[in-house]
């Protein structure tokens, strides 16, 4: 797949990047090189290779899923302008 000037301008517009006319040929070459590399990766035979998240086998550390209040409810609402119990009081915005 080859990227043309219009596509470079469109990508720059979508990414909100200001690109001058002089920069377009350079960016076009860079984007074409990236796409060529991705196409090259698709040629690699990965049949029988298990997906992995790390190069060494490991198990994620887990903590017990216990519901609690964090034991710091007073500290959480300490800087709030208005509270009632451990809740924030806010002005009513919906009638």
The residues spanned by each domain of the chain are 5-41
Q: What are 4-63's pLDDT values in tens digits?
A: 999 999 999 999 999 999 999 999 999 999 999 999 988 999 898 888 878 888 888 898
Whether residue 1 has pLDDT greater than 80 = no
Q: Is the pTM of this model over 0.85?
A: no
Q: What are 54-82's pLDDT values in tens digits?
A: 888 888 889 888 888 788 888 888 999 99
What is the per-residue pLDDT for 63? 87
Q: Which ranges of 1-95 does DSSP label H, i.e. alpha helix?
A: 5-14, 24-41, 73-76
Query: CB neighbours (10 Å) of residue 12?
Result: 16
């Amino acid at each position: 797949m080859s990227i043309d000037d219009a596509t470079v301008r469109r990508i720059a517009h979508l990414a909100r990047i200001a690109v001058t006319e002089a920069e377009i040929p350079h960016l076009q070459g860079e984007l074409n090189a990236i796409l060529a590399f991705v196409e090259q990766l698709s040629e690699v035979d990965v049949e029988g290779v298990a997906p992995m998240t790390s190069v060494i086998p490991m198990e994620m550390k887990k903590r017990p899923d216990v519901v609690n209040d964090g034991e710091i409810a007073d500290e959480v609402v300490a800087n709030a302008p208005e509270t009632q119990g451990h809740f924030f009081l806010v002005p009513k915005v919906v009638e």
